[in-house]
């Protein structure tokens, strides 16, 4: 009697692909590699924080404009 056990196991595991960063096999529907922690695409990654010097530069520029206007 055939129970389809081996075929069922292959289907339940799902297809795997190599991680573009570390090369280890991961599930194709993964957003992030469980081995190296990198996101697989830019769309899945959370928005990156701005560099601290950009924020400081913007604050200094606004302060300079404020001082120029108030004289």
Q: Which residues contact 20 (CB under 8 A, 6 or more apart)?
A: 40
Helix (H, G, I), strand (E, B) or coil at 57: helix
User: What is the rounded average pLDDT of the residues 5-16?
Assistant: 57
pLDDT class of 13 with cuts at 50, 70, 90: low
Please give the C-alpha separations between residue 56 and each of 45, 47, 52, 68, 71, in angstroms, as whole numbers. 25, 19, 6, 18, 22
Residue 59 has pLDDT above 80, yes or no: yes
Per-residue pLDDT tens for 17-39?
A: 999 889 899 998 888 899 898 88
Higher pLDDT, 14 or 62: 62
Give dist(CA 15, CA 9) in Å, integer.
11
d(CA 22, CA 16): 14
Q: What is the mean pLDDT of the chain?
A: 80
> Is pTM beyond 0.85 here?
no
């Amino acid at each position: 009697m055939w129970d389809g056990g081996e075929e069922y196991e292959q289907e339940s595991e799902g297809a795997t692909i190599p991680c573009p960063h570390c090369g280890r096999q991961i599930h194709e529907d993964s957003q992030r590699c469980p081995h190296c922690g990198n996101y697989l695409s830019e769309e899945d990654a959370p928005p990156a924080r701005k560099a601290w010097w950009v924020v400081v530069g913007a604050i200094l520029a606004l302060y300079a404009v404020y001082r120029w206007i108030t004289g």
